[in-house]
Amino acid sequence: MDANRDVYPYAIELLEQFPILVILGVRQCGKTTLAKQLAPTWQYFDLENTNDRMLISRDPVFFLENSDQIIIDEAQEYPELFNILRGIVDKDRARKGRFILTGSSNPKLLTKVSESLAGRSATIELGTLKMNEVLKKPFSPFYNIFQQRLNKESLDFEGKQPAITHKEIQNNWFYGGYPEPRLANNISFYRQWMQSYYDAYIHRDIRSLFPRLDNLSYQRFLMMLSHLSGNILNKSDIGRSLEVSEKSIREYLTIADGTYLWRQLPSYEKSKVKTIVKLPRGHFRDNGLLHYLLKIDSPETLYQHPILGRSFEAFVIEEILKGLNSSGVTNWEASYYRTRSGVEVDLILEGFFGTLPIEIKHGSQVKTKQLKNLEDFVEMHQLPFGLLINQAITARWLTPRIFQLPVGFL
């Protein structure tokens, strides 16, 4: 059973504008399904399939010159492909919609794309399913606010009810968004799938992509990372705990981020405050995998777990960033803000739309004093407004410049 992806209209638009469309994302997030939906009549080749790889690599120039409109899955498995594609595309730059490439390893594939296919390709990042995609509900109009300069008038949600119910939010937050186990709607299968997925990631993908890596040490690192999800990371402390060098921890973080398992959020360093914390913060991109690794077996157990607030915060951040990736908004950045005195704003978005600070609270009610950090940030940087995202029932203005948006609107 397939889910309709929010990014589909934007992907079609890019195919009409560029010769090559590159779809990046974590393993099993639906890249192949999306590619086949975008181009149902195109030939499909998987470079992890020995026969397909041999067929292409035997004489790649001849093959690609005579095989327009093809999908090539896991393109990072054959790095020579990118230079060849550049030459083929350059022979007829006016032709659009010729190749779709997918990949699940950011560092290897993006480097080749930027070096060889600049100006010839468009790239989209596909995450695991958003809430509305699991539920087969329309893409939220919330993301329309990023299509122009931010202004208070664009927040026309006041008094409205969110499209996604409280129970639906809890399920999506707890179980995450990997398409196959979510759409199967079977708890036993879900748990077996998560174990198989993690085993394949560690014992197949990582061994293949990084053959010199200490696999056991990387596994221990991931388990520690699951407990640190949502925290500011001190690489030296992690290294001492695992008895590896800080350099190794930097490498492990790059791998976890580059294979789309982990998201590194940089510190917001454009603030007028000089005492900001400059260490990165990060979280597991999919909460279902995070909760599985932490052996949290039910939403009720999660509510008793110390990671509750950080888990919800990561869930909301990923919902927002998936929405931005699907909406066609380009050239945006995400960061977090924290000072040495503990003043923090959970998410800062910057782009052509301006700057939007977002505070995330797990509860449904908030006290005025809890808004002080967000209000101070808005005032200090002279912004039109800030957002509080929580589990409230209705959207409304809490102060003249702080708007409460229930998470069901995302």
Considering the domain architecture, whether residues 240 and 374 belong to the same structural domain is answered as yes
Element (H, E) at 359: strand 354-360
Q: Does 2 fall in a domain?
A: no
pLDDT of residue 98: 92
Do residues 18 and 143 share a domain? no
Residue 1 lies in a domain: no
- CB-CB contact of 325 with 306 (8 Å): no
Q: What are phi and psi of 67, to 5 degrees?
A: -135, 55
CB 356 within 8 A of CB 383: yes
Please give the pLDDT value at position 114. 56
What phi, psi does 250 have (nearest 5°)?
Answer: -60, -40
Provide the token pair at 249.
């921890």
pLDDT of residue 108: 55
Which of 104, 125, 146 delimits the end of a domain?
125
The pLDDT value recorded for residue 211 is 84
> Which three-class secondary structure state does DSSP give residue 313?
helix
Domain boundary, last residue among 110, 125, 140? 125
Give the pLDDT confidence score for residue 1 in this predicted structure. 42
pLDDT score at 341:
83
| Residues of the chain falling short of pLDDT 70 | 1-3, 106-116, 271-274
Domain shared by 109 and 138, yes or no: no
pLDDT at 279: 83
pTM over 0.75: yes
Q: How many independent structural domains does the chain possess?
A: 2
Contact 269, 276 (CB under 8 A): yes
Same domain (yes/no): 117, 236: no
For residue 348 the two structure tokens come to 């800062």
Give the model confidence (pLDDT) of 340-357 as tens digits.
888 899 999 999 999 999
Cα separation, 96 vs 17, whole angstroms? 6
Whether 135 and 55 map to the same domain: the answer is no
Q: pLDDT value at position 168?
A: 96
Among 184, 202, 203, smallest CA distance to 193 is for 184
